[in-house]
């Protein structure tokens, strides 16, 4: 019987969470440091801040999903025998 390993850092969900998380941090910082003129252009909603927070929540959910339901891959050495 082949042994199974977790995909770990090579899980695509972790990569997606990392990319979305980086964009989320950038947008959150832009939302915090943004001017009132930018908020006025968006009908009074600080869209950078809310978009950044939403992206950070999305990234956190992806990491949680990857940790709770890891992908198991067959060990190549055991699978060949």
6 vs 49, higher pLDDT: 49
**Would the pTM of this model clear 0.75, i.e. be above it?**
yes
Tokens linked to 43: 């009908």
SS3 assignment, position 58: helix
> pLDDT (tens digit, 9 = 90+) per residue, 15-67?
999 999 999 999 999 999 999 999 999 999 999 999 999 999 999 999 999 99
Query: pLDDT band for position 68 (50/70/90)?
Result: very high
Say whether pLDDT at 11 is over 80: yes
């Amino acid at each position: 019987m082949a042994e199974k390993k977790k995909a770990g850092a090579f899980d695509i969900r972790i990569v997606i969470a990392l990319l979305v998380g980086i964009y989320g941090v950038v947008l959150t910082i832009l939302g915090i440091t943004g001017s009132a003129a930018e908020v006025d252009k968006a009908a009074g909603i600080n869209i950078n801040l809310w978009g950044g927070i939403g992206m950070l929540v999305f990234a956190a959910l992806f990491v949680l999903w990857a940790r709770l339901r890891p992908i198991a891959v067959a060990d190549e050495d055991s699978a060949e025998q």
